[in-house]
Amino acid sequence: MTGRGPLHVAPLAGETAWSYLGRVAARYGMDPSALLGQWAWVNHRPQADGGGVRPDGEILFNPAGQQLLARVGGAAPASLARALPSWARGPADVAEAGEPEPLARWRVASAAGGPVAFGCRLCVARRTGRADAVVRYAQGWQRVCGRHHRWLLDADGGCGLEYLNLSGCPEVEAAQRRWGVVARRASRVGLEPEQVWSVASAVVCRWWDQALEWELERIWPARLHMVAGGDATADGRFWWWRAVARDAVVFPEVVTVAGTLGDPAMAELVWRDSGGGDRWVRPFGPGGRFVTALGERVGRPWLGEMAAAQYAEPLLAWMGAVARRRDGRERTGWFADDPWRVKNEHRPVTAAAQLRAMAKDAAAGGSGITWRRAVAAERRAVIAALIGDAEDQMEGLRGGQYGSARDTGRHLLTGLARTVGLLDQALWETASATVAAGVPLEDLAAWTGLPADVLVEEMAAGADGGR
């Protein structure tokens, strides 16, 4: 197939070249792989986990390869250049050797041009007359299809879904409309939308990781159940849904936090909370004006006490950088204080990475979720402290076997009793955290050698302060 294609397939704005080629093949009634032989490939096609073609693949073409794609799809090269973000990069990335021939190089779309998501098939059908699968470049704030009430998922997620239903979550669609205002206000103060989005997303996703421990949190659980089709726990895949639906569920809060962080008046509150130029800089505390106002803006007045807790590193990093920049104590070099630079360790873990970790753990006989992600930092610290105290207590008993039998026996027994008490507390804290992470109670019973009903009783006593 070297002549001009008999059909005209128009490219869609922001579409990947691999997505476009797939739609061209569908119009010919062919598998996309059948068209690939028209080009000479300089590398191998990226494979999905477990084999198969990655939907987030991208193709870069040299000029001859671009001309061939235009002929096969029946589209003008100028139209492809306007619609396909990867088009301009092809000639530079695909070097020609000898006689020019149609060459192509495989890439992963996220590495070639940024995050990609599935397109809305209903919108595609409205535009082209066919409900073909489409993959397009889309930032985190471009995932809502308001016409059809859908949240468009990452194309690299590997979850088997292309979208989530937002019919019961009008606040998510409203947040999409608010984002335009947030982005314009950020631009007026010299910020790029990507900057405020990345920081806000890091902050809110860190809250999401800890929100299971927030007794007053009601908004996110209800929204999660809605986007999961009514009940995220009905099919026993609670952690799966938490990974897949996180970005949709927290989207309204991310937009609100982005607007808050980009507001100069809120930065002024950070400056005052830090001491406002006093000789001694005050540490940020839970009662600060900024975190209090932040909690009110996201509809959780009680959040101010938790927003500046030690586990909220992305928020504290932003606040510290803002205060130091205002005070003239900004660091330079490798430790430059840019409030809008998110450290790698603060970036949210993608849904794809979470699902891969869960699958790997489940294949090894685990629960599918890691201890660090399932158990709050405060609870992990309590367990570690109890074990550490027990170790110190036992260390203190070494070499203490001198004196009368009465004194030595009393010293050893009281010390051992304290150690047993500490380990006992650590046991129930660990058991309670493990159950909360989704591990079946019968597994705990087998591991501890205690009946399930005893475990329930003891964990309940510990939760009520009875231990």
d(CA 108, CA 95): 18
For 59-113, what is each residue's pLDDT tens digit? Answer: 999 999 999 999 999 999 999 999 999 999 888 888 765 568 899 999 999 888 8
pLDDT of residue 467: 41
d(CA 332, CA 424): 49
Least confident range from 143-152, 244-253, 290-299: namely: 290-299
For residue 329, what pLDDT band results from cuts at 50, 70 and 90?
Answer: low
Q: Of 71, 105, 137, which one is at a domain's C-terminal end?
A: 137
Task: Let me know whether 194 and 339 are in one domain.
Answer: yes
Task: Let me know whether 301 and 397 are in one domain.
Answer: no
Q: How many CB atoms lie within 10 A of CB 194?
A: 15
Q: Is residue 356 part of a domain?
A: no
Spacing of C-alpha 362 from chain mean position: 20
pLDDT exceeds cutoff 60 at 144: yes
Task: Let me know whether 237 and 315 are in one domain.
Answer: yes
Q: Is residue 454 part of a domain?
A: yes
Q: At what angle do helices 264-273 and 251-261 cross, to 10 degrees?
A: 70
Q: Is residue 434 part of a domain?
A: yes
> Taking the CA atoms of the chain, what radius of gyration do you get in angstroms?
28
Task: Let me know whether 380 and 303 are in one domain.
Answer: no
Q: Is residue 165 part of a domain?
A: no
Task: Let me know whether 249 and 286 are in one domain.
Answer: yes
CB burial class (10 A; 0-12, 13-18, 19+) of residue 321?
A: buried
For 378-418, what is each residue's pLDDT tens digit? Answer: 677 778 878 877 887 777 776 656 677 787 788 888 888 88
Secondary structure element (H or E) that encloses residue 57, with its range: strand 57-61
- What does each C-alpha distance from 5 to 8, 9, 68, 74, 296 come to in angstroms? 7, 9, 10, 5, 58
pLDDT of residue 289: 87
d(CA 367, CA 439): 6
Q: Is residue 3 part of a domain?
A: no
pLDDT exceeds cutoff 80 at 187: yes
Beta bridge mates, 150: 145, 165
Task: Let me know whether 191 and 335 are in one domain.
Answer: yes
Domains of the chain: total: 3
Q: Is residue 95 part of a domain?
A: yes
Enclosing domain of residue 216: 182-346
The answer to whether 415 and 423 are in contact (CB under 8 A) is no
The answer to whether 86 and 60 are in contact (CB under 8 A) is yes
Phi, psi of 93 (to 5 degrees): -90, -20
Task: Let me know whether 223 and 342 are in one domain.
Answer: yes
The answer to whether 1 and 35 are in contact (CB under 8 A) is yes
Average confidence score pLDDT of the chain: 84
Task: Let me know whether 328 and 426 are in one domain.
Answer: no
How much of the chain exceeds pLDDT 70, in percent? Answer: 84
Q: Is residue 47 part of a domain?
A: yes
| Residues in CB range of 162: below 8 A, 6 or more apart | 118, 121, 133, 152, 153
Task: Let me know whether 385 and 321 are in one domain.
Answer: no
Q: Is residue 422 part of a domain?
A: yes
Task: Let me know whether 384 and 456 are in one domain.
Answer: yes
For 199-254, what is each residue's pLDDT tens digit? Answer: 999 999 999 988 887 889 999 999 999 998 876 655 668 889 999 999 999 999 99
pLDDT of residue 357: 82
pTM of the full predicted structure?
Answer: 0.76
Task: Let me know whether 191 and 289 are in one domain.
Answer: yes
For 108-128, what is each residue's pLDDT tens digit? Answer: 998 888 899 999 999 999 999
**Read out DSSP for 77-137?**
HHHHHHH-TTGGGHHHHS---SS---EEEEEEHHHHTS-EEEPPHHHHHHHHSS----EEE
Q: Of 137, 166, 192, which one is at a domain's C-terminal end?
A: 137
Task: Let me know whether 385 and 333 are in one domain.
Answer: no
